[in-house]
């Protein structure tokens, strides 16, 4: 690139470079003020997520939603400013969201059998070395929670 520039008039070199569609999408230069503001916001949100998780009691679900909500905001800041997504073609943002959706589906599919897995593959109690006891207790627990449809239903009701 630099050799081209040196053998051409500056104007012609600039024109040639401007026609280069590949580099043109990257031409947004973030100001230092913006980058520093994003860093400060990210560090502040990290402090906030530690604080809400440890000292603000919103219930198990509430705290989880708060922690993930803050994480989504942080990831959004990184993607929008550090990764220049905000100043890029809209298509890139759509591709990102599509990928996130795909990841979401993949994770969701691994959870399909969460309610019934214990019926066929009881988790062993590793450190007490008493797998039978734990798996039985767990299977009973599952039955009591309504997972009994997978097994022959016991005759007597608890």
Distance between CA atoms of 29 and 1, rounded to whole angstroms? 20
143 lies in the site for another protein, by CB under 8 A: no
89 lies in the site for another protein, by CB under 8 A: no
Looking at the Cβ atoms of 119 and 156, the one nearer to another protein is: 119
Q: How far is CA 44 from CA 51, 69, 75, 136, 137, in A?
A: 10, 14, 14, 47, 45
Choose among 115, 156, 112: nearest CA to 139: 115
How is residue 87 annotated by DSSP? Answer: G
Element (H, E) at 50: helix 32-55
Residues 32-51: x/- map of binding to another protein (CB under 8 A)?
A: x--xx-xx--xx--xx-xx-
117 lies in the site for another protein, by CB under 8 A: yes
Sites of contact with another protein (CB under 8 A): 1-2, 17, 20, 22-23, 26-27, 29-30, 32, 35-36, 38-39, 42-43, 46-47, 49-50, 53-54, 58, 60-64, 66-68, 70-71, 74-75, 78-79, 81-84, 114-118, 123-128, 134, 142
């Amino acid at each position: 690139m630099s050799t081209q520039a040196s053998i051409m008039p500056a104007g012609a070199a600039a024109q040639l470079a401007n026609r280069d569609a590949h580099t043109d999408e990257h031409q947004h230069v973030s100001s230092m003020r913006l980058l520093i503001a994003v860093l400060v916001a990210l560090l502040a949100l990290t402090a906030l997520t530690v604080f809400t998780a440890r000292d603000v009691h919103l219930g198990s679900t509430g705290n989880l939603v708060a922690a993930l909500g803050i994480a989504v905001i942080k990831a959004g800041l990184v993607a929008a400013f550090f990764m220049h997504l905000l100043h890029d073609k809209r298509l890139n943002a759509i591709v990102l969201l599509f990928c996130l959706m795909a990841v979401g589906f993949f994770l969701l599919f691994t959870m399909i059998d969460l309610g019934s897995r214990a019926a066929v593959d009881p988790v062993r109690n590793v450190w007490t070395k008493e797998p039978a006891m734990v798996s039985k207790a767990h299977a009973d627990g599952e039955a009591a929670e309504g997972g009994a449809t997978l097994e022959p239903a016991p005759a007597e009701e608890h």
